[in-house]
Structure 1
């Protein structure tokens, strides 16, 4: 039996920051790369005890952005389409969008001040630093559900204009059926998806990251009016593939 005392301290995750906020506990941890890599450490975000994401592999986050760009209606690709990224996370999605000259305005909605701080002043700046300095980038410190659903429904009730995008790339949960907080579930209901549809320009794309595929969610997208609904898979080392659910607002 291995001696637990023989484990080197540097092999254990180290908590760099822990905060209690309006949505519960949010933690940033550092651990050594499993394969040694280039000697860099891996940073991971934990919310209320649930692992959200880490810096070990950004394929899922990059596919979220690329799949949305590819699914845009041809006329929406002209004139630098706008993209809203739901969730700053470890910054892979933002960095990838900013690296792509085909995107125009890039808006990121993040509700956790701690996450924003880790990018501006902490170790995650190595991923997002250049993107945060890009003049196309805007960070909104607000709750995505409020921004998408509550503000949209209020504007429609008062017959007021709303800010629309060519792509919504959402990655705030482990999937429609596995939310970080109960409040997020409202984003995946018919009302929440209808608000997403209203926030898109005609021919615009909704892309939703998930840890597993969901035929029920595909049906929900179709039921509120999305077309071209499909699911793209991202292979992972173990278990079922991660996926991106896609739907298009009819032109």
Structure 2
């Protein structure tokens, strides 16, 4: 588990919700803000903890937003109303970024934790995502991402971009089941869900040259990694790859 962002070093986080789900415990905590405060962007930071491991917080959403922006930029500019699948709702930065871009035609978010969905629909994280969830282009699919990708989709469910952020990355997963996403079989499932020329973007807490090679071996082209500097030390990264036309 990597250190928390300096803005979240308060030793007394407030637990707002704790749930036991099919994949273990998930917790929503708040650092900073008084008992009646807490809107993101003021002095409160919300954290999501899974099975005791810090996953993400609302202190800095640059890499989550880049995940969406760079995937769109990698698509042909003349592709009309591209569809994007966001893997993992998280704290909502990726969804908010997608909804703020009128070029996207369809925005689907796959999230397996009902607690996370509730925190956005009726809880504190709605301050980030309420507008995006109200967007008629947006939908939340409550299921496991790896299982969703591996199931044959009905006609019309291919996506122009897959923007995936469900764990800490290919070399360090919090949930064992998520390792399947980064495997050859998982990447084959991603490729099958992409339209020709579609873009795969995967967030990671650290660079992984080995994963770049895995992407190439899976048949993806234009494989690259973009680093995003963060205050806690090791840069976040986004791995990008393209399905051949």
The two structures share one fold, judged by TM-score above 0.5: yes
In the alignment, which residue of structure 2 is the partner of 1:80? 81
In the alignment, which residue of structure 2 is the partner of 1:20? 20
| Secondary structure of the corresponding residue to residue 55 of structure 2 | strand
**Any runs of at least 4 consecutive aligned residues in structure 1 with deviations exceeding 4 A, and if so which?**
none
2:51 is equivalent to residue 48 of structure 1:
yes
Residue 39 of structure 1, CA deviation: 4.0
Match runs of 1:153-164 below 5 Å = 161=155, 163-164=157-158
In 2, distance between residues paired with 1:38 and 1:98?
19
| Secondary structure of the corresponding residue to residue 97 of structure 2 | helix
In the alignment, which residue of structure 2 is the partner of 1:206? 200
In the alignment, which residue of structure 1 is the partner of 2:103? 102
| Secondary structure of the corresponding residue to residue 222 of structure 1 | helix
Of the two, which has the highest radius of gyration? Answer: 1
Q: CA RMSD in A?
A: 1.6
TM-score when scaled to structure 1?
Answer: 0.88
| Secondary structure of the corresponding residue to residue 25 of structure 1 | strand
2:223 is equivalent to residue 235 of structure 1:
no
* 1:144-163 Cα deviation digits (max 9, x unpaired): 010012x03xx6xxxx7572
In 2, distance between residues paired with 1:71 and 1:217?
20
In 1, distance between residues paired with 2:144 and 2:91?
17
TM-score when scaled to structure 2?
Answer: 0.90
| Secondary structure of the corresponding residue to residue 185 of structure 2 | helix
In 2, distance between residues paired with 1:238 and 1:54?
12
Residue 90 of structure 1, CA deviation: 0.4
State the aligned residue count. Answer: 230
Instruction: Flag the structure with higher helix content.
Output: 1
Match runs of 1:1-251 below 5 Å = 12-32=12-32, 39-75=42-78, 78-149=79-150, 151-152=151-152, 161=155, 163-251=157-245
Unpaired runs of 5+ residues, structure 1, are 1-9
| Secondary structure of the corresponding residue to residue 240 of structure 1 | coil
| Secondary structure of the corresponding residue to residue 67 of structure 2 | helix
| Secondary structure of the corresponding residue to residue 65 of structure 1 | helix
In structure 2, do the counterparts of structure 1 residues 198 and 80 end up closer, same or farther at CA, with 3 Å as the change threshold? same
